[in-house]
Structure 1
Amino acid sequence: MEVIPDEGGPLAISPIKRRALCALLLAGEQGLSPGELMEAVWGDGYARDGSLKTCLSQLRRVLPGRIPAGGSGGYRIEFGPADTLDAHRFRALVAESAEAVRLGEHESAVRTLQEALNLWGQGEPPLADLPDHTARLRLLRDELVFERRAAQIALFRERIHLGEHRDVLGDLRRGIAEDPFSEQLHALLMTALYRSGYRAEALRHFDAVSTLLLREAGSGPGQALRQLRDAIDVDDEAAEAAQALVLDARTPAPAAPPAPAAPPPPPLAQLPPDVIDFTGREDEVARVAAFLTPGPDVTGVPIASLIGPPGVGKSALAIHIAHRLRAAFPDGQIYIHLAGMSAHPREAAEVLGELLAFMGASAESLPASTGERAALFRSMLAGRRVLVVIDDAAGAEHVQPFLPGTAGCAVIVTSRAYLTGGAGIRPFRLDPLQREEALRLLEEIIGRDRVAAEPEAADEVMAACGGFPLAVRIAGARLSAQPNWPIAYFAGRLSDRLRALRANEMTVSASIADSYDALPGPARQAFRVLALAGPGDFPVWLIAMLLGTLEAEELLETLSDRSLLVTVSAGTAGPPRYRQHDLLRDYAEAQLLDHVSERDLAVERLLLGWLELIDRADARLPGEPHFPRPARLNVELFAPDEARHLIDANPGGWFIAECANILAAIRLACDERRYRLAYGLALRLSSFLCHQSRHREAEDMWERVMTAAAAEEDTRLAAEARLRLAAVVARQPGDELRSIRMLGSCLDAFEQVKNAEGVARSLAWRALVGHRQGALDAAVGDAERGLKLAREVEDGPAEVACLRVLGLVASAEGRHDEAVRLCEPALARAEKIARETGERVYECLALDTLITLRLAAGHREQALQLCDHGRALGQETGDLPAEAAFEELAGDALAALDRPEEAIARYTRAAGLFEIAADDRRAPLCRVRIAAVHAAQGAVEEARKLAEQSAVDLENLGFQVDAEAARRAAQGW
């Protein structure tokens, strides 16, 4: 856009003011409200009032007297007497050319049309400065672009009429590149080729057009194009007649005998063929069909909108339902492919022109504007029962011109975007197929016997396809084309899914690319960087952490509205969470690799942001036993405020919600060779995993960190990770030997790098595992050596661990009073750690051990007092497992004191606390203790029933050894 004064060159206008001026010019006399103008210029109206006033004030200085103050009618442009606008001049010239054609002055018409089109300039795309954030401006822009296209077609037609067949070929090909679905342009090119002597080329072009329209629009060429092709193929005087129809020359012709009456328009049966192997979706078919066929009293038009991500099967479902409902709509079915997500969305005016011509309207009677054509379309449907299928719509405004106006008709729309703003639209969201449905579809394609022969491999293929019918069909097509391939071989090639899931012209990537390319720039960036978030669901604030933006919610809503994200945990009280489907994440990751600096910055922000947040949460929960706390961070640069508030309110709940994402971040850090950062993240997550008994996840985490550190030849850090891994393994019954071997490797590594703290901790852990395994002499040797080293380097946690082992070994050997004396210093050292650091976990450990030893020594009253102290400590620190353990020990003390009712009450409370703390094993074990108390009171039958139920619970949870021990105990009652 340029503004040219009476004297001098174009005025300098900034991009923002250019957008504002363009929007006002296009809106014309009606003008724009402040909200519409803000949305047009900036894409939203959030806190833009001041910016809008500044922008308009500056425009008024550049264009005095043209922009009056905004009132109830909004803002508009007022032209002066001498002002001109190219759009007005363009329309006048086009009207002048039409009059020249009517008078037979074709050379004058060509000159006038060329002058009109020159006003558009040579830049591409047309109207580049015009904002299109609002539906109204998009509609006005589309009408202008349609008028330009109509003028181009008229110019090509007149040039061919003047005999410029060869000269117009290049311009026609460029026009088709802009609008590949225009049958008028294809007809003109075929005519120009034929008249230039390229008959075979004209016929080949028709074949190419047929393939394009079938693939992209789902239907072949229209009647006029088919007639032209047949005439060229015959190569006789019929060709001239057909070409005359194409050129539509309105030169007066000599009188001729009256033409026969035009044949009636063909019946409205435009649906593409139904998919013969359509599978699943029974519930969706039933719900949509019921909605589209309401009772006789309904006066509106039901509009079913099928929404979902690319490749989920929206079009196939729409066509399948439409075929099922043919009997309910006896006056016909109309199919409209809008290509809304493609690089060349179809313009409403052009599509309406084709539809109206198909329905019997003559070319002369077609109105020029979109609104008038839409009104004629509604009139021609009035009183008829017709089903309209609108495929691949970009939005509600894209659909509006094709909606019938009277009851009896119905509409199915497919779109990747939620259609907002349209009254009466009922959304039906399509999710990926369930595994059974996807497997049935694969069986339909490649045969049930072949799938049954390799069920596990077929499951792998289905997992890679993620339930997307397009992906399943591509996989089936590839396997069908290679009948000798084992399914397992193809499954092995799916490590790169997007590359493997392509067959002929069908690709998953191409389907996703249309949606991705249609996104605004900020939303495209958000889609790309979310590939780093991992496979789990994530909160709104994660995108803020990745991009450092305050518009995270708007970006996620844009992606969700266009089916590129799925909203999960709907219906809960908390804020929504989102998930990116695996295939979409693969595509996003591939796009992100092309933006190296953007990826590097996003990885940095993600990992450091998680580090800050985990550090904050870890500081508010009990620490991991036998390991010192990591040093606390003193800066927060990347952590969003919302996440910090959630942590402060409920650190444990926050960890539960985000644990999978944190583990994904640790994997990412290891893959990026940022093993030190991975170690820092794992260090701060480890306490939570320990107290939640999530040992498998902790084991995988530390093994990854250890492997990453070893790959970089960092012996010390690899040994630290191996020690943590050995501790996780040691906490799982039955893995003691593996833990001891790992601890031996840790000792060797720490001694090699002369790290005394590491040696002391490794010895302490090996002593703990040795005692549990029954290797008492080895445990004492490790504990004594570890205790000496721990005191030398002032490592309190290792000192407490070694003292506990010495007491436990003495008790195991029957030296109970000595065991108590050996363990009391452990409690004193733990209390000192609590005073110095505020860390109370070692106090809980030492108390637990001392209570156990006092019970073994017969000090039941003292043990009970310590249990009450421990329970209060657990409540004070919010350590539910510790509180439950002290209640269980109190039950042991009370049972030994022959106070059965009190013992049962403590065991019952302990079991409840263990269940709340998600300790599946300890709760049924408490109930076995309750059964033992009942048996001691003579209620043997009741005790055995409770013990058996507890044994079944333990078996179901996978604790076979404990289940067998419970049954053996019951047999002895």
Structure 2
Amino acid sequence: MGSPVTEPPGFAELLRGHRHAARLTLEQLAEASGVSARTLSDMERGRSRGPQHRTVTALADALALGEAAREQLIARARDGRLRDRWTRPTGLCELPRSVDDFTGRTAELAWINDFVDGGGVPGAAGAGLVTGPAGLGKTTFAVRAAHALRPIFPDGVYFLDLYGMSQQPVAIDDALRLLLRAFGVAEQQVPGDPPSRASLYRSLVRDRRVLVVLDNAGSEEQVRALLPAGGAGRVLVTSRRLLAGLEGVRRLSLGPLRLEEATELLTGILGERSTSDGEPALNQLAELCGGLPLALRIVGNRLVSRPGWNAVDLAARLTNEERRLDQLSAGDLKIATAFGLSYEQLASSPRRVFRRLALVPGPDFDAALAAVLGESSIEATWDALDELVDLGLLQDTTSGRYRFHDLVRLFARDRLQREDTSVESDAVTARMMAWLLRMATTAGRWFGPDHRRPDRPDADLPLSSVEEAEHWLRANVEHWLGALRYAAKGDQHAVILDCADALDPFSDQWMHGPHWHEVFTLAAAAAEALGDPARQAGQLNSLAWVHLVPRDDPEAALRYTDRALDLATRSGATMEIASAHHLAGGALRRLGRIEDAIAAETRAADMFKAVGDIDSYCQCLGALGSCLRDAGHHAEALEQYLDLWALVNDDRAGVTPSVVAFTRPLVLARVGECLGLLGRRPEAIDKLTEATGLMAQAQLLALQGRSLETLAELLAEEGRRAESQRTYARAAEAYVAIDDADASRRCQQLATATG
């Protein structure tokens, strides 16, 4: 018997083999070749079997392939292009029917009208992009809008599902061919090469009053060639992805329905029987569905098909998260079944990652955390996450993070409970929480005075710079905060204290983060449980800072410093004594007790200088400058700030780089304020302009808002009213970012008054 005939490897297998042989990750090959990592991932999974010749040659060059291997890879791509011809029958791209009970989206429909009209701006973008997670009704919304717009598009309204979330999205060539045929171009007149097809398509869209709805786009690459280049036509794209790489498009992010709109949709589905169900019960159902049109549709259909049921009973069932998925099914609309079909297609490793991701305490996560949960390499984890995204079980973002839809998270948790023992789940949870606390502690230490990059950093703690540390802490705050809570429940007092101490310097970089009160409260309780009064004093000082800066409650801050000073004095903790004096000085200044504040800050400065804590000494000098300014001694305050400016710019002084980065824009702004108070407005404007730019780079939004207000006032006094108006508007935006609605409203009013 002869040997079995085996089919030669296809393009995907060849590319994956060459990449592994070269020991390159997808990201490394992407950087070397100029081909995006997503496109490479599609190629290796067989979703793109026949890439263009120039793409393949770029990959061959990046992989340094020999002549024979190079020719083989090019040949396999050419074969793939021939096999990839889409066999979907041509049609007229007719618009699907619109549902009669469509509800809400008034503002969004107005956005569509504005987009179609071009907003009254000549040359406005002819492409609109509607984005949002699955189940939010993007397709229903786009179809509804397109039907309403038929009268103003006499040359036709067309609809094309790009199947962007499927395993085989529509290729650009095939989309162009189908649309050209729908436009009336005869088959034999459709150009054979993609650039010519795209050119003909753009010319037809430019010259005709048409609306093209491109539904379910999966990537920028899939729609870029289908966007208009000006003219009368309009293209409306829907996608679960943000498609941030698309240029020249108008964007609309579709969110959940408001509660009243969700209730209205449910009422429309139920029809006459909604009266008997009662508004309170329908409101509760709408709230449990979270404004998700798909869930509302299922709930409504389920009630309509079962006249004996009532909304109160169904709401009671949905309240139980353990059974919510089971209840969200009506006929062939079964959310759990749809998720299950996708889940069954996964190999064991992606299944394990998917289940365990339900344990994540925050709303989204990155590949590093997923790798910890899956107990796999980062490369294998990326592959698993890509597969989950492809199957619609995860949503990814352009920032490299992933998230569940709420109902998918419930499905993942259900799978975890069914397929893993409680002992296994508890062990995975403990390992994840320990890793998160190690990461938070390591990241926080990048901002401390004694941080040194380790010669051999831990492989599972992927932080190599202060910028990476800050990004991780901000992006994963819900995770490490959840880990601190977990540690508190387990009486891991030493771990909590170490983490809080490491995070303390970083709190200056993110002073208006809402979580610091909880962090330092947990740490103070941990220190008390350990019987360590010195460290307890340190955490009480941190709580005083929380009430002094983010919460603006100087009376409460003084209560914390009094307790901290007592504990620190009894335990001989010099640093905490000095910190208590410094923080008390800030609170006293806020309360108008300037002389007491100066005395407290002077004591603190002397103590910090004596022990060589140059970072804290700098803070005291700045605080003394503020006291002098508030007392009306503007010239003396200016001298104080200039001395501090010289100190933080002296490389030999030993100020920690992160402290320098925080202090420089602050001092520069204070110099500008003093110059303004001394009547030296042009100089003041220059200093404040530079300072606010540095604050924007460092994301010091609270400081930026205040300094922008001062700058705007000075600009107005100089008669530069248009600049002043713009600056007040920027200040309002900065205050919005830190949720200070009163300050934002004040700046908006000042901007209007200035204009």
Identify the TM-score tier after normalising by the shorter chain.
Answer: 0.5 to 0.7
2:475 alignment partner, one of 654, 657, 661 = 657
Matched residue pairs, number?
574
Shift of 1:786: 6.5
- In structure 1, the partner of 2:257 is 435
Distance 1:599 1:669, change over 3 A: farther
Matching residue within 750, 763, 772 for 2:562 = 763
- 2:376 equivalent in structure 1: 548
1:562 to 373, 376, 391: 391
1:595 aligns with 2:395: no
Distance of 1:692 and 1:451 partners within structure 2: 50
1:516 to 337, 340, 343: 343
Closer, same or farther: CA 452–649 of 1 in aligned 2, 3 Å: farther
CA contact (8 A) 2:104 2:257 kept: no
Contact 2:270 2:300 in 1 (8 A): yes
Deviations 1:740-784 (A, max 9, x none): 67x4xxxxxxxxxxxxxxxxxx5365xxxxxxxxxxxxxxxx6xx
Partner Cα distance (2:746, 2:98) in 1: 59
Instruction: Tell me the CA shift for residue 789 of structure 1.
Output: 3.7
Alpha-carbon contact 2:135-2:292 (below 8 Å) kept: yes
Q: CA deviation at 1:553?
A: 1.4
Report 1 or 2 for greater relative contact order, CA contacts < 8 Å, sequence distance ≥ 6.
Answer: 2
8 A contact 1:308–1:417 mirrored in 2: no
Shift, 1:843, TM fit: 1.8
- 2:604 alignment partner AA: A
Q: Does 1:501 align with 2:325?
A: no
Tell me which residue corresponds to 1:829. 607
The change in CA–CA distance for 1:447 and 1:857 in structure 2 (over 3 A counts) is: same
In structure 1, the partner of 2:683 is 902
- 1:344-423 matches, cutoff 5 A: 395-396=167-168
State the shift of 1:527 in Å: 0.8
Superposed CA offset, 1:451-492 (max 9, x none):
999989867755643565542233334665544629976775
SS at match of 1:691: coil
Q: Does 1:474 align with 2:298?
A: yes
Kept after mapping to 2: 8 A contact 1:309/1:564: no
Match of 1:691 in 2: 509
Instruction: Write out aligned runs for 1:193-212 (5 A).
Output: none
Aligned to 1:798: 577
Once the 2 structures are TM-superposed, how far is the Cα of residue 554 of structure 1 from its aligned partner? 1.0
Q: 1:439 to 1:499 in 2, by over 3 A?
A: same
Q: Match of 1:883, as an amino acid?
A: R
Out of 614, 621, 644, which is 1:847 matched to?
A: 621
CA distance in 2, matches of 1:896, 1:314: 54
How far apart, in 1, do the equivalents of 2:433 and 2:459 lie? 9
Letter in 1 for 2:393: L
Q: Which residue is 2:404 aligned to?
A: 580
1:178-327 equivalences in 2 (<5 Å): none
Residues 548, 638 of structure 1: 8 Å contact kept? no
Q: Return the alpha-carbon distance in structure 2 between the equivalents of residues 38 and 444 of structure 1.
A: 52
Change over 3 Å in CA distance of 1:318–1:688 after alignment to 2:
closer
Deviations, residues 322-356 of structure 1 (Å, cap 9, x unaligned): x99xxxxxxxxxxxxxxxxxxxxxxxxxxxxxxxx
Per-residue deviation, 1:617? 2.4
Match of 1:905, as an amino acid? D
Q: Residue 889 of structure 1 corresponds to which residue in structure 2?
A: 670
Q: CA deviation at 1:934?
A: 8.3
Q: Which structure 1 residue ranges, 5 or more long, are not aligned? A: 6-20, 51-69, 75-134, 136-271, 288-306, 325-386, 400-404, 570-574, 624-628, 744-761, 766-781, 969-973
Once the two structures are superposed, the pairs formed by residues 618-629 of structure 1 within 5 Å of their partners are 618-621=444-447
Amino acid at match of 1:33: P
Q: Distance in 2 between matches of 1:814 and 1:393?
A: 63
Distance 2:364 2:725 in 1: 43
CA distance in 1, matches of 2:406, 2:586: 53
Q: What CA distance in whole angstroms lies between the structure 2 residues aligned with 1:894 and 1:388?
A: 62
Q: Highest CA radius of gyration, 1 or 2?
A: 1
2:500 touches 2:519 (CA, 8 Å); kept in 1?
yes
**In the TM superposition, what is the alpha-carbon distance from 1:579 to its structure 2 partner?**
1.8
Does residue 1:870 correspond to 2:644, yes or no?
yes
The 8 Å contact of residues 884 and 911 in structure 1, kept in 2 or not, is answered as yes
1:540-563, CA deviations, whole angstroms, 9 ceiling, x for partnerless residues?
Answer: 333223323241211111111111
Does structure 1 retain, via aligned residues, the 8 Å contact 2:443–2:473?
Answer: yes
SS in 2 for 1:845: helix
Aligned residue in 1 for 2:354? 527
* Alpha-carbon contact 1:38-1:48 (below 8 Å) kept: no
Kindly state the Cα deviation for residue 809 of structure 1 after the two structures are TM-superposed: 6.2
CA contact (8 A) 2:584 2:597 kept: no
CA deviation map 1:550-596 (0-9, x unaligned)? 41211111111111111212xxxxx6332222211122123223424
Output the CA distance in 1 between the equivalents of 2:541 and 2:532: 11
State the TM-score, normalizing by the size of structure 2: 0.56
Structure 1: distance between partners of 2:542 and 2:368: 31
Structure 1 residue 852 displacement after superposition: 3.4
Kept after mapping to 1: 8 A contact 2:732/2:748: no
Q: Pairwise mapping of residues 22-41 of structure 1 onto structure 2 (< 5 A)?
A: 25=4, 28=5, 31-33=6-8
Provide the rounded CA distance (Å) in 2 between the counterparts of 1:417 and 1:932. 48
Partners of 1:487 and 1:740 in 2: how far apart?
52
Give 1:890's aligned amino acid: V
Between 554-563 and 510-519, report the one with greater CA deviation: 510-519
Aligned 8 A contact 1:32 1:73 in 2: no
| Cα displacement string for residues 363-410 of structure 1 (whole angstroms, at most 9, x for unaligned residues) | xxxxxxxxxxxxxxxxxxxxxxxx99999998559x9xxxxx998999
Q: Per the alignment, do residues 317 and 732 of structure 1 end up closer, same or farther by CA in structure 2, a change over 3 Å counting?
A: closer
CA-to-aligned-CA distance 1:282-323 (integer Å, 9 cap, x gap)? 999xx9xxxxxxxxxxxxxxxxxxx999978899999999x9
Q: Is the 8 A contact 1:617 1:651 kept in 2?
A: yes
Flag the 1:727–1:827 CA change in 2: closer, same or farther, 3 A: closer
TM-score by length of 1: 0.46
Distance change >3 Å, CA 45–CA 449, structure 1 → 2: farther
Partners of 1:661 and 1:537 lie apart in 2 by: 9
Give me the identity figure in percent.
21
**Against the structure 1 CA distance between its residues 316 and 850, is the aligned structure 2 distance closer, same or farther, given a 3 Å change threshold?**
closer
Q: Call closer, same or farther: CA 1:458–1:844 in 2, change over 3 Å.
A: farther
Alignment of 1:54-73 (within 5 A): none
**Secondary structure of 1:527's partner?**
helix
Mind listing any 5+ residue stretches in structure 2 that lack a counterpart? 24-67, 73-79, 81-95, 113-130, 149-158, 172-176, 188-212, 228-236, 242-253, 650-654, 751-755
- Structure 1, residues 848-890: CA drift from partner, whole Å, max 9, x if none? 2232345578876664343123235556634444223322432
CA 1:824–1:726: 2 relative to 1, 3 Å: closer
- Determine the C-alpha separation between the residues in 2 that align with 1:967 and 1:273: 46
- Alignment partners' CA distance in 1, 2:479 and 2:690: 34
